[in-house]
Amino acid sequence: MDLDGREERCGDPNNDLALPPAHPHRLMKERAVMIKDIRPMKMTDLPVDQAEGYLDDGDWFLEQKMDGARGLVTWTREDGFSWQASGGGPLKFAAAAQHLPVIEAELVRLFEAAQVTAVVVDGEVLVEEGTYHVFDLPYVHYAYQDSPMIVPEEMYVHRRNCIDRIFGMVPGATVKIVPSARTSREKILLWHRIREEGVEGGMLKRWDAPYESGARVKHQLKLKLVKTADVIVTRVERRFDEKDMVTHGSAELSIRIPQDRDPKPYRNFKSGKRIDRATLDMLKEGSPRARAQAKDYMWAPRDYLVIGNASLIGKDKSIDVGDVVEVAYLYWTGGALIQPRIIRKRRPEEKAVADCWIDQLPEYSRKAVWV
């Protein structure tokens, strides 16, 4: 579908023709929209095997799903910043919050350059990078206009064009735009790169949909790339009710590793605590007390690495220590599986414990993928 006739640029004070058409449901009362009441919109999961049908559909855009801390930013010249987490409460995740002062400074610079007086921005804080990635813009009010240019009822394509105007005119190192693929060719290329690069997944967004504050919607769909692996059960815990049904159960999952792949190969022979080489070197170069602690560690790499726990509720009751199970998981951090779920118990002739090596876990990336 050709969107050229619909994709007007977001408000330009020097060009009245650049203003996007008003949303058909916009009323005068929206001048009084209370931006403090806007809450993060929630997306619906879509099975990855259904993604292909959307790539050729002109009604849908494709973007990368960023893996960070969700952050809905509300800012006005009078009151400054407030941040909401995905559930609508204050953003309290300390690892993300430590980056907010730097991010806020760059946001203010961008808002002032665009003559914005009030705005609500939706995005993701990538903790490792200290960056904020913008993917939606439910509210914008410019200094040169009497009423808001963008309100939550506005179509996504117009909200998206405003993102490009405000955050793309003066690119910064800390605040970035999540790339958007609109044509079939762009979407196919981006989807291919998302799958190749080992990132979390993609987001499908209808071009004409509003921003529904606090609601779970079906016009923005999450595509999480779920992976599978064969792992070893190294501990089992179950509780049963009077009907012999499992009311609580978990399996510790492990994987075989070569000695040079153990992330923490040094073991304290007194406490059993494990550390990596960098930590040991810090102890050796530290205070007299730290140097004494370093002597308690010895090289003792493991043959197996514990990589997570999975629920046994509703699973095969015969699963026990020493069995191999196939698990689905979201991604591998390098030290743990995220959201592992047991699919089935593997028969010994299918998969032996000796064959369950760490090499089957692909490296995971949080980096931004570009079209």
Asked whether residue 42 is domain-assigned, the answer is yes
Asked whether residue 206 is domain-assigned, the answer is yes
HEC string of the chain? CCCCCCCCCCCECCEHHHCCCCCCCCCHHHHHCCHHHCCCCEEEECCHHHCHHHHCCCCEEEEEECCCEEEEEEEECCCEEEEECCCCCECCCHHHHCCHHHHHHHHHHHHHHCCEEEEEEEEEEECCCCEEEEEEEEEEEECCCCCCCECCCCCHHHHHHHHHHHHHCCCCCCEEECCEECCHHHHHHHHHHHHHHCCCEEEEEECCCCCCCCCEEEEEEEEECCEEEEEEEEEEEEEECCCCCEEEEEEEEEEECCHHHCCCCEEECCCCCEECHHHHHHHHCCCHHHHHHHCCEEECCCCEEEEEEEECCCCCCCCCCCCEEEEEECEECCCCEECCEEEEEECCCCCCHHHCEHHHCCCCCCCCCCC
Same domain, 214 and 342: no
Phi, psi of 82, rounded to the nearest 5 degrees: -140, 145
Q: How many alpha carbons fall within 13 Å on the CB side of residue 303?
A: 5
Same domain, 142 and 237: no
Asked whether residue 369 is domain-assigned, the answer is no
Asked whether residue 85 is domain-assigned, the answer is yes
Same domain, 160 and 246: no
The pLDDT score that the predictor gives to residue 134 is 97
The pLDDT score that the predictor gives to residue 147 is 86
Q: What is the CATH number of the domain that holds 31?
A: 3.30.470.30
Same domain, 32 and 160: yes
The pLDDT score that the predictor gives to residue 33 is 55
The pLDDT score that the predictor gives to residue 365 is 66
Q: How many alpha carbons fall within 13 Å on the CB side of residue 170?
A: 10
The pLDDT score that the predictor gives to residue 28 is 34
Among the candidates 208, 224, 240, a domain finishes at 224
Asked whether residue 178 is domain-assigned, the answer is yes
Same domain, 59 and 195: yes
Same domain, 141 and 250: no
Same domain, 167 and 234: no
Asked whether residue 348 is domain-assigned, the answer is yes
Asked whether residue 205 is domain-assigned, the answer is yes
How many structural domains is the chain composed of? 2
User: Which strand ranges, in their side-by-side order, compose the sheet holding 180-181?
Assistant: 42-45, 216-224, 201-206, 60-65, 180-181
Among the candidates 202, 224, 246, a domain finishes at 224
The pLDDT score that the predictor gives to residue 122 is 98
Asked whether residue 78 is domain-assigned, the answer is yes
Same domain, 195 and 232: no
Phi, psi of 342, rounded to the nearest 5 degrees: -70, 125
Q: How far apart are CA 277 and CA 298, in angstroms?
A: 11
Same domain, 53 and 127: yes
Domain that holds residue 318: 227-262+301-360
Q: How far apart are CA 258 and CA 201, in angstroms?
A: 30
Same domain, 109 and 141: yes
Same domain, 30 and 179: yes
The predicted model scores a pTM of: 0.68
Among the candidates 224, 254, 280, a domain finishes at 224
The pLDDT score that the predictor gives to residue 226 is 77
Q: What is the CATH number of the domain that holds 253?
A: 2.40.50.140
Per-residue pLDDT tens listing for the chain (371 residues): 444 433 344 544 333 334 444 443 343 334 345 888 999 999 998 988 899 999 999 999 999 999 888 999 999 999 999 999 988 989 887 888 899 999 999 999 999 999 999 999 999 999 888 999 999 999 999 999 988 999 999 999 999 999 999 998 777 789 999 999 999 999 999 999 998 887 889 999 999 999 999 999 999 999 988 788 999 999 999 988 888 888 889 999 999 999 998 999 999 999 999 999 999 999 999 999 999 999 999 999 999 999 999 999 889 999 999 999 999 898 888 889 999 999 999 988 788 899 899 988 877 666 677 65
Same domain, 150 and 217: yes
